[in-house]
Structure 1
């Protein structure tokens, strides 16, 4: 059951100092505790430069901000939407349509009709002389359109002093006109947020005592311009005297009061300076209102006064899983997502970054780059295109397909030999079935593996290491002399580094013909070679005993 929650947080990070938000201190965990699918925050009190990854790049959520253009740490509205539940089709900032989309110089109200949400107030509907751009410069409104309705999240100006009275009435008048125009255009509307107006006597504490102190009557209190304007917007609103021109008919229902018509003490805001919350001495100024066509869609609405973290508490409204549309039962999810995404309550395709609207904070350049990097690491690697193979590589792959795959282990010598034999056997041309595209083998056959074993030249014996030479030279001079006297012709250890780094001629280069044609050495040459060998052995022994450096 989709739930819409509105909350004036008095600073977007303010709740994290309280339970239960301080445990995980993430917006994702906060939204799960609220059990909400659409979350509207007011008084975020941040600027564009204060936006951080944890409040924009929330997994599974999209986000739309309206921030003040000039004042710091003031006002601000944001709407979060859960991608698994809903996906807006249009988004705007401001109530009058005079602001521009990101990276555009065209005002929202001047966009092509198919890109507009519509219902923009006319000059005749505005009761204030304040410039339109000024009214929308304080980050007080975000508007999202879903297939089912238009959602307006707003933070109305407070009545702090007389200097702001004109601005306050100008904003409320523009808000009233926008809602009425949308309803007149045939669209359903949900208006939610901190409106900074108590609707009636039941919505504030100790009203009679306040009136006595200020020497006012109840009629005087109900006739206050902001309260009168607000009640003309509501069904069952108390209006003193005749209604204003253009406001003859109410258009919105107070959903929370519909479910709790006589409940007293249903307050949403308290004075933290005087600590009036424990005694519940507050007022109800946070609302969830809807047009008549979707009133019956709500199955529950209430305040959450037990959730701390601000001088306000959350207010929510819950929609049914199915709703009546023209007398037919329709799944609510079908009405909260673009056509083709959900049908009959079943998801046809998942939400993707392609569904982001220009107003989404995820498309702000610094966040868009980081979002793309995250997506790059999370995406599955694309399938590789099979490479063209030689006949020998294809044959080796076919040979490997006959055994159990073991790409994770390193093949031993016997395995490589078996592969070589298979490569030789399959190297002959065959039918087209032998040239199918298969995954490449882990090790390609070498040129030697493709040659017959009989033609492979004999392996040359490795030369003895220096350590072996040292061990061989650790003999007494007497033994060395005796060995030399006997004319020992065995292999001698290498006594110097001469020729050690010079590659020797491979045995395969010496042909049998060259060996057979060589003349045998003369007796003189044999004697000279024997004397040279004896002198080398004596030098090596002397070097080891004397500690000579090599």
Structure 2
């Protein structure tokens, strides 16, 4: 089973840059998007009839938003995490299947000057509680832009970013707490020491050309799915967004 996650940073813009070509080329069982930045009815995608489409839109126009396109019809679909505080920005979709949950997430950014860090910390606690509730029922696959580079090797210039959004001690500690709760960072499971593997690059300073990036897009699974993991990939050659797609191959 091939799973793809891609923060498109505005789906309408990426469609003009060859999104459908990428979609068909990757031919995934699950194709997840974050930061779609649109409302219902603002786009029509010519996807094959074999895909079921699920969208979660932010109340604020042109902001956040997630989507899942899947060949597998779920038993049920949930939008958000059941919290009025967190569910206005279209950040989470959960699909339930007989043997697992599949979740895509666009984690809130702590913002310039860390003005949203306190909210981010509350989100982290509530989202982990949500995941643990699901995991107590059946194993899960979580993907998305989780807006944190966990280890020093997950970004190029870690020394100068210690207090910047996405690499604060607080955010990294929350990610460690997630993994310690019974989950795997699948890319690091396969490639624990690989450097230079990034999924996001700033549009400034020729960052992508120089591969001065961050790995902030993930596939996380329940640890008990480890025997079924086959591979994890970062498609850094695919353009169109400031992020690139990431992939998980799993036998389910």
Q: So what's the TM-score if we normalise by structure 2?
A: 0.92
Larger RCO of the pair (alpha carbons < 8 Å, separation 6+): 2
More helix by share: 1
Which of the numbers 176, 192, 217 marks the counterpart of 1:286? 217
Match of 1:91 in 2: 77
Cα deviations across residues 486-509 of structure 1 (Å, max 9, x unaligned)? xxxxxxxxxxxxxxxxxxxxxxxx
1:28-47 matched pairs, under 5 angstroms: 29-47=21-39
Structure 1 portions without partners, runs of 5+: 98-131, 235-248, 321-331, 333-550
1:355-394 matched pairs, under 5 angstroms: none
8 Å contact kept, 2:32–2:104: yes
1:133 is paired with a residue of what secondary structure?
Answer: coil
8 Å contact kept, 2:32–2:66: yes
Match of 2:145 in 1: 194
Check if 1:78 corresponds to 2:70.
no
Query: 1:299, 1:205 → 2: CA distance?
Result: 27
Check if 1:298 corresponds to 2:239.
no
Q: How many residues are aligned here?
A: 250
Query: 2:197, 2:54 → 1: CA distance?
Result: 29
- Which stretch of structure 1 is more off in the superposition, 7-16 or 287-296? 7-16
8 Å contact kept, 1:15–1:308: no
Check if 1:233 corresponds to 2:222.
no
8 Å contact kept, 2:105–2:144: yes
Cα deviations across residues 442-482 of structure 1 (Å, max 9, x unaligned)? xxxxxxxxxxxxxxxxxxxxxxxxxxxxxxxxxxxxxxxxx
Match of 1:224 in 2: 169
Check if 1:48 corresponds to 2:40.
yes
Query: 1:5, 1:188 → 2: CA distance?
Result: 18
Match of 1:150 in 2: 101
Query: 1:89, 1:315 → 2: CA distance?
Result: 25
Match of 1:271 in 2: 202
8 Å contact kept, 1:252–1:289: yes
1:392-407 matched pairs, under 5 angstroms: none
2:171 is paired with a residue of what secondary structure?
Answer: helix
8 Å contact kept, 2:161–2:167: no
**1:210 Cα deviation from its structure 2 partner:** 4.3
Query: 2:108, 2:160 → 1: CA distance?
Result: 25
Structure with higher Rg: it is: 1
Which of the numbers 86, 99, 123 marks the counterpart of 1:171? 123
Query: 2:93, 2:154 → 1: CA distance?
Result: 26
CA RMSD of aligned residues (A): 2.1
More strand by share: 2
Query: 1:210, 1:40 → 2: CA distance?
Result: 28
Which of the numbers 306, 318, 327 marks the counterpart of 2:249? 318
Query: 1:10, 1:223 → 2: CA distance?
Result: 23
Match of 1:205 in 2: 156
Cα deviations across residues 366-412 of structure 1 (Å, max 9, x unaligned)? xxxxxxxxxxxxxxxxxxxxxxxxxxxxxxxxxxxxxxxxxxxxxxx
**1:35 Cα deviation from its structure 2 partner:** 2.5
Query: 1:210, 1:319 → 2: CA distance?
Result: 33
8 Å contact kept, 2:149–2:167: no
Match of 1:66 in 2: 56
Match of 1:469 in 2: none
8 Å contact kept, 2:200–2:244: yes
**1:31 Cα deviation from its structure 2 partner:** 2.4
